[in-house]
């Protein structure tokens, strides 16, 4: 990634798609992922849809984390609509947008882009749990 990007501290399943990155401040973030060999389909150099959905969950989750400060949270619902393919080597990005926050839920949406072109959209609902440990 280029200057200005910081690695996200992912582990477990979230790390399966490779290193994800972020830049910007809370409420104005960009989350990024380089489309690498490990996330392309078996038949060619196009990113697997499951990898894009995992990336969307991570990216929208960053928007939720900005809204649900000091608490752990979980994804309650994630909807992803595909609008195009992503070639190996592209920079995948999302700018999560907080739609609404209640006392225990954060509603977040974002466009998934590959080298600036929209390839999908995602909407997520995240629930606050207890205080973060």
Cβ atoms within 10 Å of 62's Cβ, excluding its own = 21
In sequence order, the β-bridge partners of residue 120 are: 82, 112
Domain 6-131 class?
Answer: alpha beta
Pure H helices in 39-111: 49-67
The rounded mean pLDDT for the chain is: 93
**Digit-coded pLDDT (tens) for 30-46:** 999 999 999 999 887 89
Cα–Cα distance list, 75 to 1, 50, 60, 66 (Å): 27, 16, 9, 14
Residue 9 scores a pLDDT above 80: yes
In sequence order, the β-bridge partners of residue 81 are: 121
Sequence spans of domains, the chain = 6-131
97-101 and 105-114 strand pairing: antiparallel
């Amino acid at each position: 990634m280029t200057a200005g990007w910081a690695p996200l501290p992912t582990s477990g399943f979230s790390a399966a798609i490779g290193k994800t990155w972020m830049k910007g401040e809370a409420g104005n973030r960009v989350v990024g992922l380089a489309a690498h060999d490990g996330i392309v389909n078996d038949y060619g150099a196009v990113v697997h849809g499951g990898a894009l959905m995992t990336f969307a969950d991570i990216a929208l989750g960053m928007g939720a984390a900005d809204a649900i400060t000091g608490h752990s949270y979980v994804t309650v619902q994630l909807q992803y609509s595909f609008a195009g393919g992503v070639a190996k080597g592209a920079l995948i990005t999302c700018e999560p947008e907080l739609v609404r926050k209640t006392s225990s839920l954060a509603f977040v949406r974002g466009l998934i882009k590959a080298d600036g072109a929209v390839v999908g959209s995602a909407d997520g609902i995240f629930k606050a749990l207890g205080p973060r440990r």
